[in-house]
Amino acid sequence: MPELRKDPVIGRWVIVAEERALRPHDFVVAQDEKTGAGFCPFCAGNEAKTPAEVFAFRDTGGESNGPGWKVRVVPNKFPVLRIEGDLGKRAKGMYDRMRGIGAHEVFIETPDHETTISGLPDEHVTLILSAFRERLLDLRRDSRLAYGMLFKNVGLSAGASLEHTHSQLIVTPVIPTRVCEELAGSKKFYEYRDRCVFCDILDQEFSVEERIVLVTDRFVAIAPYASRFPFETWIVPREHASHFETMTWEAMEDLAFILKRTLFRIEEALDHPPYNFMIHTGPMQSGPLDHYHWHIEIIPRVTKTAGFEWGTGFYINPVPPEAAAEFLRKTAERRGGETE
């Protein structure tokens, strides 16, 4: 019998329909074709082919926009939002619109074309996270900007247009709908119980254990109770914090450890699926929030969203999160331990 599960933060329903895992087309991992060799603007030596960098970690003595960098941040060559101008909020009849003010930056995570986050040394992953923090802290000084969404697309069918490992930051002049829902849902919970809903979720997950994938001192990777997608995994700080960008260096080292190993397990378990991750953090112009709890959502793209999902906002997940978590826990064991 399929089961309906409700997300405790935003109230979204998910249908966990295990029997449907048997349908041939529902659970095929689409192996994206490699677009092959060719020219890559993100490789070392091709720095002139991107817009000028806004931030980089590089070896001592290296010059801006030359080689020698470890992580490099550049504006997107095809930005969906631009930093220049005022918002120009206005109405056209009954419709509201504003200019596309914001920022769109690309984090080139390593000069090496052949690797991914799960193949990089822990210290290097910490640098990537640190570049995320740096850019958010810099951009929040601009009071026109409301929200920064950090995300990563891996594989053509997850929306990546370049193979070379990279992530992106899009900063918007309004708080996005999805984030508003999370903020409103967690606020409602807080007003009723005087506790953070995410902290309560972690308490419950630690007490039942069945959806835990990996634990470190400061973070936990879980398969959320109302997972929308097979092998959806969230990484959540164990201690309450509303904003990613106010994390300490020590926390980033711990996050690098768990993020890398979680991605490794997903890649191993599903044979390198296309995936996205998104960092859900608090709004840029707000101070620390008692009711909101930042986290990372990782969604492997192994099922297709169809008319039903688009029309209802319901999701059909053929893999119970308990089974996914168990499989991911055993993945590392099967491979005889962790990556490296």
Q: How many residues bind its own copies (CB under 8 A)?
A: 81
Q: Which of 57, 66, 82, 331 binds its own copies (CB under 8 A)?
A: 82
166 in catalytic set: yes
Segment interacting with its own copies, rule: CB under 8 A, options 37-45, 174-182, 245-253, 254-262: 174-182
Segment interacting with its own copies, rule: CB under 8 A, options 11-19, 37-45, 260-268, 330-338: 11-19
Q: Which residues pair with 106 in a beta bridge?
A: 74, 168
**To the nearest whole angstrom, how small is the minimum distance from the Cβ of residue 239 to its own copies?**
19
Other CB atoms within 10 Å distance of the CB of residue 218:
19
Q: Which of 34, 95, 143, 271 binds its own copies (CB under 8 A)?
A: 95
Segment interacting with its own copies, rule: CB under 8 A, options 40-48, 52-60, 76-84, 262-270: 76-84
Q: Are the CB atoms for 155 and 166 separated by under 8 Å?
A: no
Phi, psi angle pair for 190, to nearest 5°: -65, -40
Segment interacting with its own copies, rule: CB under 8 A, options 57-65, 109-117, 176-184, 257-265: 176-184
**To the nearest whole angstrom, how small is the minimum distance from the Cβ of residue 290 to its own copies?**
18
Residue with structure tokens 């070896």? 59
Catalytic pick from 104, 124, 166, 291?
A: 166
Pick from 275, 250, 310, 316: nearest CA to 4: 316
Query: Smaller CB distance to its own copies: residue 22 or 48?
Result: 22
Task: By CB under 8 A, tell whether 26 contacts its own copies.
Answer: yes
Binders of its own copies among residues 244 to 273 (CB under 8 A) are none
Residues in the chain: 340
Site map for its own copies, 126-165, x if CB under 8 A?
Answer: ---------------------x-x-xxx--xxxxxx----
Q: Which residues pair with 278 in a beta bridge?
A: 151, 297
Pick from 77, 281, 247, 74: nearest CA to 172: 281
Separation of alpha carbons 58 and 93, rounded Å:
51
Q: Which of 59, 96, 191, 194 binds its own copies (CB under 8 A)?
A: 96
Binders of its own copies among residues 298 to 327 (CB under 8 A) are 299, 304-308, 310-314, 316
Residues 6+ apart with CB under 8 A from 213: 221, 222, 223, 233, 262, 265, 325, 328, 329
Residue with structure tokens 């951009």? 139
Binders of its own copies among residues 180 to 209 (CB under 8 A) are 181, 200-201, 204, 207-208
Radius of gyration for the chain, computed over Cα atoms and rounded to the nearest angstrom: 20
Binders of its own copies among residues 32 to 61 (CB under 8 A) are none
Phi, psi angle pair for 71, to nearest 5°: -135, 135
Active site residues: 166
